[in-house]
Amino acid sequence: MLPNVSTMNIAHRGAQGVCPENTLLAAGMGLAYGAHMWELDVSMTKDGVLVVIHDDTLERTTNAAQLPAFAGRAPWRVCDFTYDELKTLDAGSWYVQTDPFGQIAAGAVDDDDIASYKELRIPTLREALEFTRDAGWCVNVEIKDHAHLIGHNVIAEATLDCIRDTDMVESVLLSSFQYRYLEQAGIMLPEIPLGVLVYDEPVADPVALVRSLKAQAYHPWRKNVTEEVVDRLRDAGFGVNVYTVNDAAEMAELASWGVTGLFTDFPLLCWGVLQGELF
C-alpha cells in the first residue's frame, strides 16, 4: 500500500544527494533516512531490458566513456547497448569524481563509502522492484521518454508487466512526462495510481489535466506550484507531489500548503522537517 501520511518524503533517484543516483545503494540510503518511498527512472536497453537510469546516455553516470570496449560508440545511448554490456559498467565512481552535492568535500561521505561506489551497477527495474518489495517499501516508477522510445508504448507495456510480475501493483506510483504512457497504464493496469509530471510550462487547468488522464496526483516542478494550485487540486481530491525540494524552509512551506509529497535528494533533511524538528 502507498503510505497513508499527510506528506510523503520521497527519496529522489534514491538519496541521490549523498550517493550515486538510481542505484540500490541510493534506495537503501533513502530507506535508512526515513523516506516513505523512493523514485527511480526507467529506460530500456537495445535488447529490451528495463534499466534504472535517468539520462538517455551512459556518459554522466557510468564509466562507459573510459572503457576500451565502449570506445567509438559515443554518445553512448542506453538504447545502443545490450544489458550484458551495461552490466560491465561502474555506475558509482562518477560520483566521487564529480561529487555533485559536495558531500565528499563536506566530509559526510567516508572512504569506505567511496570505495564501495565502484562496485555499483545499473539496476534492472526488476531488481529495483524486488529490492523495494523485500524491504516492504514503496516506489515511484518514472517512465522516461528517451528519443528512441517516442511513438510507441513498448516501455510502458514492459514496465507494467514487470510491476505485475513482481507483485508490486499496490506499492508503485507510476509517473511520466509522456502522457501516452499514463494512458497505456490506465488501459493495462487501471488499479495502479498515476502521477502526472509537468515541467516548468504553465498548466492552465491542472485539475482538468489530472482528471483527463485518470490520475491520482499532479507532479509539478517546485517553481511551478503555488498554494492556490495546491488548494485547487486538493479540493478536487487529487494529490500534489512536488519535485525536487532540497531546502528545509521550502519543504516546510510546501508541507504547510498541504502538498502530499516532496521529492528530495536529501530525505534525512526532509524527515527532520516533517517531524517538526527543523521548522
Shortest Å, Cβ 248 to ligand G3P: 19
Nearest-10 crossing angle of helices 248-257, 267-274: 50
**Which of residues 77 and 144 has its CB atom nearest to Mg ion in the complex?**
144
Query: CA–CA distance from 194 to each of 52, 79, 140, 168 (Å)?
Result: 19, 26, 9, 14
Based on the shown chain and the rule CB under 5 A, indicate whether residue 41 belongs to the binding site for Mg ion.
yes
Based on the shown chain and the rule CB under 5 A, indicate whether residue 21 belongs to the binding site for Mg ion.
no
Q: Is 54 a catalytic residue?
A: yes
Peptide bond into 82 cis (omega under 30): no
Using an 8 Å Cβ cutoff, are 144 and 54 in contact? yes
Helix and strand numbers (H, E) in the chain are 11, 9
Nearest to 186 by CA among 166, 214, 222: 214
Based on the shown chain and the rule CB under 6 A, indicate whether residue 175 belongs to the binding site for ligand G3P.
yes
Shortest Å, Cβ 19 to ligand G3P: 16
Using an 8 Å Cβ cutoff, are 35 and 267 in contact? yes
Helix (H, G, I), strand (E, B) or coil at 32: helix
Shortest Å, Cβ 132 to ligand G3P: 16
Based on the shown chain and the rule CB under 6 A, indicate whether residue 266 belongs to the binding site for ligand G3P.
no
Based on the shown chain and the rule CB under 5 A, indicate whether residue 142 belongs to the binding site for Mg ion.
yes
What span, in angstroms and rounded, lies between the C-alpha atoms of 138 and 127? 14
Q: Is 12 a catalytic residue?
A: yes
List binders of ligand G3P among 68-107 (CB under 6 A). none
> Residue 8: enclosing H or E segment and its boundaries?
strand 8-12
> x/- binding map, residues 186-225, to ligand G3P, per CB under 6 A?
-----------x---------------------x------
Near Mg ion by CB under 5 A, which window of 16-24, 41-49, 129-137, 182-190? 41-49
Active-site residue identified among 12, 36, 146, 219: 12
Please, what is the end-to-end C-alpha distance for the chain in angstroms? 29
List binders of ligand G3P among 108-137 (CB under 6 A). none
Of ligand G3P, Mg ion, none, which one does residue 87 interact with (CB within 5 to 8 Å by kind)?
none
Nearest to 261 by CA among 220, 227, 203, 200: 220
With a CB cutoff of 8 Å and minimum separation 6, the contacts of 209 are 196, 198, 203, 218
Near Mg ion by CB under 5 A, which window of 60-68, 96-104, 135-143, 231-239? 135-143
Based on the shown chain and the rule CB under 6 A, indicate whether residue 39 belongs to the binding site for ligand G3P.
yes
Based on the shown chain and the rule CB under 6 A, indicate whether residue 41 belongs to the binding site for ligand G3P.
yes
Give the residues lining the site for ligand G3P (CB under 6 A).
12, 39, 41, 54, 142, 175, 197, 219, 243, 263
Give the residues lining the site for Mg ion (CB under 5 A).
41, 142
